[in-house]
Amino acid sequence: MSYLDNILFAILLILGGGYFAQNVKKLIRNIKLGHDVDRSDNPSERWKNMAMIALGQSKMVRRPVAGILHIFVYIGFVIINIEVLEIVIDGLFGTHRAFSFMGGFYDFLIGSFEILALLVLVAVITFWTRRNIIKLKRFIHNDLTGWPKSDANYILYFEVVLMSLFLLMNAADLHLQTIGAPGYESAGAFPVSQFIAPIFNGTSESLVHLIEKSAWWVHICGILVFLNYLYYSKHLHILLAFPNTYFANLKPQGQFDNLESVTNEVKLMMDPNADPFAAPAPDADATPAKFGASDVQDLNWVQLLNAYTCTECGRCTSSCPANQTGKKLSPRKIMMDTRDRLEEVGKNIDANKGVFVPDNKSLLNDYITPEELWACTSCNACVEECPVNISPLSIIMDMRRYLVMEQSAAPTELNNMMTNIENNGAPWQYNQMDRLNWKDEA
Amino acid sequence: MSANLIVPTMAEMMAQGKQPDVLFWVGCSGSFDDRAKKITKAFVKLLNHANVSFAVLGTEESCTGDPAKRAGNEFLFQMQAMTNIEVMNAYEIKKIVTACPHCFNTIKNEYPELGGKYEVVHHTEFLKSLLDEGKLTIEGGQYKGKKITFHDPCYLGRANNVYEAPRDLITKLDAELVEMKRSKKNGLCCGAGGAQMFKEPEKGNKDINVERTEDALETQPDIIAAGCPFCNTMLTDGIKFKEKEGSVKVMDVAELIANAQDL
């Protein structure tokens, strides 16, 4: 019977891990719904970007308060995972503090985990205050209502609970160690929980033992639940920030891609030797490529990865000139809409045995309106701001391309501008033959 | 005031069997917009003054296609691009300078894939190199001690990481360079990019150029320096909106240098 705990723990671990693995599979499938784009060049620069931006948080600290607090939570998260490893070993093999053989180093580890746990608590409470009491503009923005708003708070509550349980578990353990309870050899340093431990003075040993064991169980169950919560949450960024910064665009921000399908057509158009009556080449793709994007399947996989990576911090929106001047465009909403639509498409595929059945909906119009798209100045402020190198701009541009090239739905003034370029080689109604007149004007 | 501008065209140069060191890409705004034409002339004065061997395409120049591309019309963009590339490749152009960051960005970044590979520099970078090579000297002149703030054009700054050249030039004027609260990487757009120049803005509570002009006015400048004809227009409009045209001028960096030398 003594193995019951260990078996129960193993089952929980397999269930938690298995369900998560299933969702990761779904995530990868959904991202692969996007067009191919080659991001295999310059691996050294890509690794460097990942190390600097995701691992090193270099873009986070541009806003120092949030940046430094975020680093507490981030380091806390990464380091405390070492403790989780011990917890898993303890759970599977029925040991208690399996790593304690490391002696002084173990004291140092547990001591630093405790300090980090405290810093995480401080940071998380500050984050909650910024969202709910101070109400920073980007957190009460009209694109952050309903689920996204609750999601952000749930994550904070989760972290408070996990950290508190960790400290409570250590405090109870320390108390048991101090009173010399059997099975609780002196191990670990407890710079934070030593101040909590005194609350157990006068409590019966069996109750403290129960509290310690319960805190341990709830803590590890909490971690498994949190792991599985990721897929449904903006918190997915803790994993995807790494591939996202690796695969991000390395070209100058001002360089927009040239559509290859268009290049082929324009070359043919301009080639004096082209036979206008030629039959299409036998190997030509049966369905002509769609120009631009009206739905998530028209975007490329990096754009879809961007959507899953977005943690809705809103730095993009707060730096967007259109948004600051009251226009509807919010780069954050572009990313959130893309993810929501992608999830909807994914669920459609799941429900229809692996095939997408048209649902008369699309990213364009049902999620993102042309009014939002036309408000963009393509200034790249959102791209520059994003702490994990997401590009809302590339999605906006692809959707404009669809509006213009597939639907001829540009605003009238832009149509006039384009007609002028076509006819006179300038966006205004001036004759190309007058281009050098300035030379002789007084 | 100096004599007439010397502005050879590529066609004239070719007829004489000459190849200029650099092509000056004037751009649509620099060719047709009354305000921007002044910038073009100021830059040509500096080129003439420094005896730079250059030429323009003149009537063979056409829109780079930037506004069409940013508006989503990739077809029109690529048609413009390929036509321009054909012309420039026929003249065996190696190096291009332009006073428009939009032309700069497009030719520099988007033309190579379509067959147009050139060395492209912004006019502030070009002037800076003339200065470094000793072909141009800059003195403060009328701008000595004046307070000047520089507005980063998005397509020069964030898009291509050129931040220092225009600032180095302004500092050489013995002027006091003051930074806006949002500058360089964090610079705020003037509101013209992405083809916005050619349409009315979407419904909102403020115009972007007014927002940016307020940033500039916070520094209490004598002059707002720009490096882009579109930013120039937007900020000039912003100054008019704020009724400050009496005390604050919007000037291109090239104009400042040309004026300081009394060219």
Nearest one of A431, A213, A3, A182 to A11, comparing CA atoms: A3
Q: What band does A6 get if pLDDT is binned at 50, 70 and 90?
A: confident
B208/A contact by beta carbon, under 8 A: yes
- What average pLDDT does the structure give for chain A? 92
B189/A contact by beta carbon, under 8 A: yes
User: How is chain A split into domains, by residue range?
Assistant: 4-31+63-247, 260-266+289-431
Distance CA A87, CA A5 (A): 13
Residue pLDDT, tens place only, B147-164: 999 999 999 999 999 999
Nearest to A438 among B9, B37, B203 (CB): B37
* Contact: A384, B110; criterion CB under 8 Å: no
Give how far Cα A296 sits from Cα of A31, A248, A367, B225, Å.
10, 18, 11, 42
Q: Look at phi and psi of residue A36 and say left if phi exceeds 0, alpha if psi is from -120 to 50, else beta.
A: beta
Nearest to A414 among B32, B155, B199 (CB): B199
Q: Which of B2, B7, B28, B66 to mutate to test the interface with A (most CBs of A within 10 A)?
A: B28
State mean pLDDT over B184-188: 97
Residue A283 has pLDDT above 70, yes or no: no
State mean pLDDT over A395-418: 97
Distance CA A328, CA A333 (A): 10
State mean pLDDT over A43-47: 97
Residue B21 contacts residue B52 (beta carbons within 8 Å): yes
Q: How many Å lie between the alpha carbon of A143 and the closest alpha carbon of chain B?
A: 16
Residue A285 has pLDDT above 60, yes or no: no
Structure tokens belonging to residue A113 = 């985990």
% chain A with pLDDT above 70: 97
Q: What is the pLDDT of residue A362?
A: 97
Residue A245 contacts residue A389 (beta carbons within 8 Å): yes
Q: Which residues of B touch A413 (CB under 8 A)?
A: 198-200
Q: What is the pLDDT of residue A253?
A: 97
Distance CA A375, CA A386 (A): 19
State mean pLDDT over A218-223: 88
Residue pLDDT, tens place only, A122-160: 999 999 999 999 999 999 999 998 999 999 999 999 999
> Residues near A197 by Cβ (< 8 Å), separated by ≥ 6?
A171, A172, A174, A175, A178, A190
Residue A341 has pLDDT above 60, yes or no: yes
Residue pLDDT, tens place only, A10-29: 999 999 999 999 999 999 99
Residue A363 contacts residue A307 (beta carbons within 8 Å): no
State mean pLDDT over A411-426: 96
Residue B11 contacts residue B58 (beta carbons within 8 Å): yes
Whole-angstrom Cα Rg for chain B: 18
State mean pLDDT over B108-122: 97
**Residue position matching structure tokens 């140069």:** B13
**Residue position matching structure tokens 């710079």:** A191
% chain B with pLDDT above 70: 99
* Contact: B114, A381; criterion CB under 8 Å: no
State mean pLDDT over B91-114: 98
Q: Which residues of A touch B66 (CB under 8 A)?
A: none
Q: How many Å lie between the alpha carbon of B147 and the closest alpha carbon of chain A?
A: 26
Q: How many Å lie between the alpha carbon of A406 and the closest alpha carbon of chain B?
A: 10
Residue B171 has pLDDT above 50, yes or no: yes
Write out residues 148-187 of B within 8 Å (CB-CB) of A: 154-155, 158-161, 185-186
Q: What is the pLDDT of residue B157?
A: 97
Give how far Cα A143 sits from Cα of A39, A335, A383, B202, Å.
31, 11, 18, 18
Among A125-134, A202-211, A371-380, B166-175, which stretch is predicted with the lowest mean pLDDT? A202-211
- What average pLDDT does the structure give for chain B? 96
Distance CA B122, CA B224 (A): 19
Better pLDDT: A403 or B263: A403
Q: Which structural domains are found in chain B, ordered by start?
A: 10-130 (3.40.50), 138-260 (3.40.50)
Write out residues 214-253 of B within 8 Å (CB-CB) of A: none
Q: What is the pLDDT of residue B3?
A: 58
Structure tokens belonging to residue A375 = 């408000």
- Select from 3.40.30, 3.30.110, 1.10.1060, 3.30.70 the CATH code of A260-266+289-431: 1.10.1060
Residue B166 contacts residue B184 (beta carbons within 8 Å): no
Q: What is the pLDDT of residue A85?
A: 86
Q: Which residue of A has its CA nearest to B211?
A: A325
What interface predicted TM-score (ipTM) does this complex get? 0.95
Residue pLDDT, tens place only, A73-100: 998 887 777 888 888 888 888 888 888 8
Q: What is the pLDDT of residue B1?
A: 43
3-state SS assignment for residue B249 = strand
Q: What is the pLDDT of residue A282?
A: 62
Distance CA B10, CA B131 (A): 25
Distance CA A195, CA A222 (A): 24
Q: How many Å lie between the alpha carbon of B13 and the closest alpha carbon of chain A?
A: 15
Q: Which residues of B touch A254 (CB under 8 A)?
A: 105, 109, 154-155, 158-160
Structure tokens belonging to residue A44 = 């050294």
Got the DSSP string for A19-83?
HHHHHHHHHHHHHTTSBP----S-HHHHHHHIIIIIIS-TTGGGSHHHHHHHHHHHHHHHHHHHH
* Contact: A263, B78; criterion CB under 8 Å: yes
Contacts across the A-B interface (CB distance below 8 Å): 215
Q: Cα A431–B109–B190 angle (5° rounding)?
A: 70
Q: Which residues of B touch A324 (CB under 8 A)?
A: 188, 206, 208, 211
Q: Which residues of A touch B200 (CB under 8 A)?
A: 413
Q: Which residue of A has its CA nearest to B103?
A: A254
3-state SS assignment for residue B232 = helix
